[in-house]
Structure 1
Amino acid sequence: MIYKTVKSSLVTFSQLMLPSHSNFSGKIHGGFILSLLDQIAFACASKYSGKYCVTASVDQVDFLTPVEVGELLTLKASVNYVGRTSIVVGIRVESQNIQTGEIKHCNSSYFTMICKEENGEKSEAPKLILKNLDEVRRFYKSLHRIEEHRKAKEQIKDPVDYKSQEFLDFLLVNHQVKIEID
């Protein structure tokens, strides 16, 4: 069995935010940042595993503060958790005003990546060596998020009769929707 450290997974990427990256309000487009997040998650997981990795899911991408044109955006990624074939990559995004030096935390997100063989089959990921309590905390928090996702999926499986008047009334009263089914 192969073991690797979190340190072997570290990837940092910085890019100057240009007007071509902005949306109609003049802020950096969230979709552009999502693309950068996906790229660094791939780089981090592939660097760690030595294999081609694909994105399986993205967890909790909250845009905390807007990113301005002219700021330097820095993404820092590391492996937080490893399952049999999956790798959870934690990413922290900061923007820096290069004139004042002010740094803002813009985003933290978690990407689950799957290791693949050349034939496209899933492949085992190297196991993780945790070397400090911060790495243990990140690993535990990933375990907790995974368990919460499992619980949520089980709750969603509960059958709901979407056609029942009781359910439709519930939507009308609690969610102020208008229902106009033909």
Structure 2
Amino acid sequence: MEAKAASLSRTTMSDIIFPSDTNYHGTMFGGVVMRYIDKIATIASMRHSRRGVVTASSDSLDFLAPVRVGEAILLEAFVSWTHRSSMEVYVKVESENLFTGERKTTATSFLTFVALDDEGKPTPVPAVIPETEEERKLYASAQERYQARKKRKEERAAESSKQA
């Protein structure tokens, strides 16, 4: 299977934030941000694998600043690393004041997706070729995040079996 450039999975989305998207502080609900993140990461992983995918884990989500009513939310995602059938997807969320043009990073997230074959079983995915400095940095640190995910999953499985 031929490796693919990370840029081929790069996906962007934008939307304007209305009062119905916000909490009583006038800032965007975290759960709505999470829905956007999962949606854009799904698209990026499908672009990379050209397969149906499922979310295997939401590895991290760091909220850095609020998105306010009337601002635009801007999301960018790409596959940063792959294993056999899994793909790590990096998502960056920004807000933009549409009157001043000021942008700020509001959240970052890593998610893991698994590609599925026609029978719904995990199927191999192409490796990633990082090209930009950002892609190379994330690719270089991906193995460490993979090991942390694996350890966390093993610990949760052990806890689950103790409770059974």
Would the alpha carbon gap of residues 98 and 60 (structure 1) be closer, same or farther in structure 2, given more than 3 Å must change?
same
Superposition map of 1:120-131 within 5 A: 120-131=120-131
Q: CA deviation at 1:151?
A: 3.9
- Structure 2 gap ranges (5+): none
- Structure 1 gap ranges (5+): 162-182
Q: 2:26 is matched with which residue?
A: 26
> How many residue pairs align between the two structures?
160
Would the alpha carbon gap of residues 121 and 94 (structure 1) be closer, same or farther in structure 2, given more than 3 Å must change?
same
Would the alpha carbon gap of residues 153 and 56 (structure 1) be closer, same or farther in structure 2, given more than 3 Å must change?
closer
2: distance between equivalents of 1:130 and 1:104?
25
Q: 2:146 is matched with which residue?
A: 146
More strand by share: 2
Q: TM-score, normalised by structure 1?
A: 0.81
Would the alpha carbon gap of residues 133 and 29 (structure 1) be closer, same or farther in structure 2, given more than 3 Å must change?
closer
Superposition map of 1:13-162 within 5 A: 13-152=13-152, 157=158
3-state DSSP class of the match of 1:111?
strand
Structure with bigger RCO (C-alpha 8 Å, 6+ apart)? 2
Do structure 1's residue 10 and structure 2's residue 10 form an aligned pair?
Answer: yes
1: distance between equivalents of 2:108 and 2:123?
27
3-state DSSP class of the match of 1:61?
strand
Q: CA deviation at 1:155?
A: 6.0
2: distance between equivalents of 1:134 and 1:25?
33
Would the alpha carbon gap of residues 32 and 3 (structure 1) be closer, same or farther in structure 2, given more than 3 Å must change?
same
3-state DSSP class of the match of 1:60?
strand
2: distance between equivalents of 1:53 and 1:154?
22
TM-align CA RMSD? 2.0
1: distance between equivalents of 2:85 and 2:62?
26
2: distance between equivalents of 1:23 and 1:65?
14
2: distance between equivalents of 1:64 and 1:130?
26
Letter in 2 for 1:30: G
The alignment-based identity, stated in percent, is 33
